[in-house]
Structures are given as structure tokens and as C-alpha cells.
Amino acid sequence: MTALFDDRPFREASHRNGFSGNRIARWSEGRDDSSLERALAAPSSRLYLFAGDKVVLRQQDAIPSSVGHIAPSDAALLEAMGADADSVGGRLLPLWTLAEAADQGLDPDTVVLLGVRAGEAVLAGTVPPREERPPHETAIDLRSLAVQEALPPDDMGALAQARSLLLWHAANRFCARCGGPMRMKNGGSSRVCTVCNTEVFPRVDPVVIMLAVDGDRCLMGRQPQFDAGRYSALAGFLEPGETIEDAVRREIKEESGITVGRVRYHSSQVWPFPSSLMIGCHAEALSTEVVRDAAELEDCRWFEREEVAQMLAGTHPEGLTVPPRMAIAWTLIDAFAGREG
Ligand SMILES: [Zn+2]
């Protein structure tokens, strides 16, 4: 395959959703228990670091010119090229060397090997939270980074993988079958019981998120904890023994009372809070009377296409909004409003 075709389709609806840019080769088949040790011995290896729930970041303007500082003359050049000099100068860098990670207090027992990217091993681990940080460092939670679109897509995708994996290992220290201690295997791609040898693999929890459509109207609801004025697609976890389509029909019926017929898959989104896959669908409404589930939703109603377009554009007269652009709900709503592509 030549570079002309890159390594995946140029346009895939899921690529419009946040956390979709992961370019790490997980290298699952080639791993063994020594893979992590070898990665930790390679000077070119880089780590993503989490302090509690936050990603530890470096601010680029604080970096010496030898390793990537944007000099004033470069900033002027970038501005002339149409880039925003302030945003370039304030760029956040999420990768750390092994020595820097050690300085941050890296907990070696948490380190996982995410895989290989551009010939370099990419790892992740946790460091202790800090009350105060030097001026050139910061720590920001992953959701905020995604909403602000503060990092390139490949970093966001890798951080999603890292967050889910680190949390899974932390939550699976003991065997569910015999209670024995479990150890990490193959650099973090599974865990194995040191007593009964049971092996477990990181899990992903599927969630359906869907927009019911009735001609020129779509159905959106708001949960009490949403930002003021925000409406979104309905969503819920798949249950055992359910197809995606069945889950879409059940969730819409439960939350809104609307009966749904045909279901069409649109796109998916990695959602590392802690480890979900959002499966986005459009659904054909067969009834129109909303009977809201008051325990789940504060409001649920039909929105005309013109009103949805105003909400997407941020020009709704009553200030109603939809979720941020990084969210799959935004993509589903945008596709309904006819701006897809
Ligand atoms: Zn066991």
C-alpha cells in the first residue's frame, strides 16, 4: 500500500467524532512479557502521564528553542500563513521521556505499553497529583481537552486508549474467579491470575446513542445535569442479549414513549469515561406523542430542522444548544440537519 492511500479510508463518519484519531499500532500479536521492559529501556520511548483524573501536559512556550520553541519570528511567519500565533505559542505537549516521567514520580506498577507509533514505543502511566506545578506545566482532564480541541487527534485517541487501559488495570487487581492477585501480562494487553491462571482482557462497554427522526423533526432530550439550554440525542447502555437495533428501539421507547421502526447505524465514538464505545444511529419514528421518563429527562421534545440548525450554529433565539463538536451527538444532529459531508 502506498502513502497515497494512507492506512485507512479518507472519509469515515466516525473520524468526525472526538478521540477517533488513534494511530498507535497495538502490536498485540508480537508482544510478550519482556515487551514492556524493552520499551522502558529504549531512550526513544515516550509516555502519556495521568495524575489522578488529569493529563499532565507541558506548555510549548516554556520549552527551550532546541526542542521546539516557537520563536517570535516563527510566530510571525505562522501568522502570515494564516495560523493563530497565540494558539501555536500556547500549544500543549502531552508526551514525556522516561527520565521526565521518573521526575514526575511515575508509578512503575501502573505503566502499560500502548503500542508503537512512528517507530517509537508509546506508553502510559500514572504520577501523583500535585497541588502546584511549575509555570510550564499543567494538568487538565481529558474531557475538557476534547471539548477545547486542545490536542491533535492522534494524541486524543492515544490518551483515550491510555485512560481506559490504566483504569481497567487499576480496577482488576484481583481475580473474579478465585480472588487471587492478578498480574499484568504482555505489557498490559491482559491480566492473568497468579493462583488459578485465569486470563482477562480489557473490556469495552457498548452504549447506543440515537436520534429519532420524524420527517423534518428530530427528538432530543435534556438531563437535569446538562448545561442550561442544552439538548442532546438519547442514549443508554446495551443490555445482554440485545442487538444494537433492539437497544435503540428500547431506549427511545423507555425515555420518550416514542415507537421506532428502522434503525440506521451512522458512526461510533470511543468514550473513555471509563471505557465505552458510543454507537450512533438514526431511527425512524413510527409514533409522535412524547411520554417523557421524568426520572431520566427534564425535558424531551421534537425539534424542527430549522431550529436544530440554529442550535448547531449557536444562533438559537432562546439560547438553546447542542453538545460540543467533539461529541458523537453533535455529529448525529449535524447529519440530520443536512450539513453532513
Ligand atoms: Zn484466580
Share of residues in the chain with pLDDT > 90 (%)? 84
Kindly state the helix (H) or strand (E) to which residue 80 belongs, with its residue range. Answer: helix 72-80
Q: How far is the CA of 161 from the centre of ligand 1 (A)?
A: 26
Instruction: Tell me the mean pLDDT in the region 166-191.
Output: 97
Neighbouring residues of 233: CB distance < 8 A, sequence distance ≥ 6: 209, 210, 211, 220, 280, 329, 332, 333
Closest among 174, 173, 105, 180 to 139, alpha carbons compared:
105
Contact of 166 with 50, CB cutoff 8 Å: yes
Distance (angstroms) between ligand 1 centre and the Cα of 198 equals: 5
Q: What's the gap in Å between 199 CA and the centre of ligand 1?
A: 8
If phi > 0 it is left, if psi is from -120 to 50 it is alpha, else beta; for residue 68 that is left
Q: What's the pTM value of the predicted model, to 2 decimals?
A: 0.87
Mean pLDDT value of segment 327-333: 97
DSSP assigned state of 181: B
CA distance 132 to 91: 20
150-159: per-residue pLDDT in tens? 999 999 999 9
202 beta partners:
none
pLDDT tier, 61 (very low <50, low <70, confident <90, very high otherwise): low
CB 97 within 8 A of CB 46: yes
Residue 5 CA to ligand 1 centre (angstroms): 46
CA 282–ligand 1 middle distance (angstroms): 43
Which has the minimum average pLDDT: 74-78, 94-98, 309-313? 74-78
At 90 the pLDDT is 66
Around ion ligand 1, residues with a beta carbon closer than 5 Å are 175, 177-178, 180, 193, 195-196, 198
Classify strands 199-200 and 190-193 as parallel, antiparallel or unpaired: antiparallel
Q: How far is the CA of 329 from the centre of ligand 1 (A)?
A: 40
Greatest CA span in the chain, whole angstroms?
A: 64
As a dihedral over the C-alpha atoms of residue 329, residue 332, residue 335, residue 339, rounded to 10 degrees, the angle is 10
pLDDT in the model for residue 11: 74
DSSP lists the bridge partners of residue 182 as 193
Per the CB < 8 A criterion, the answer to whether 164 and 53 are in contact is: no
- Distance from the alpha carbon of residue 197 to the mean position of ligand 1, in angstroms: 6
> How many angstroms does the Cα of residue 195 sit away from the middle of ligand 1?
5
pLDDT of residue 82: 40
- For ligand 1, the distance from its centroid to the CA atom of residue 186, given in whole angstroms, is 18
pLDDT band for position 30 (50/70/90)?
confident
On whether the CB atoms of residues 116 and 39 are closer than 8 A, the answer is no
Residues present in the chain in total: 341
**Centroid of ligand 1 to alpha carbon of 183 (angstroms):** 11
For ligand 1, the distance from its centroid to the CA atom of residue 204, given in whole angstroms, is 21
> What Å distances lie between residue 142 and 158, 249, 275, CA to CA?
11, 31, 13
Q: How confident is the model over 15-34, as a mean pLDDT? A: 92
Q: Which of 65-79, 88-102, 263-277 has the highest mean pLDDT?
A: 263-277
Q: Is the peptide bond before 317 cis (omega within 30 degrees of 0)?
A: no
Cα(310)–Cα(1) distance, rounded to whole angstroms?
43
The pLDDT assigned to 340 comes to 59
Asked if 163 and 26 touch (Cβ cutoff 8 Å), the reply is no
Q: List pLDDT tens digits, range 288-299.
A: 999 999 999 999
Going from the Cα of 172 to the center of ligand 1, the distance in angstroms, rounded, reads 11
pLDDT, residue 329, reads 98
What's the pLDDT score for residue 3?
52
Yes or no: say if 124 and 166 are a contact pair by the CB < 8 Å rule: yes
What is the average pLDDT across 35-46? 96
Distance in Å, CA 182 to ligand 1 centroid: 7
Residue 166: predicted pLDDT = 98
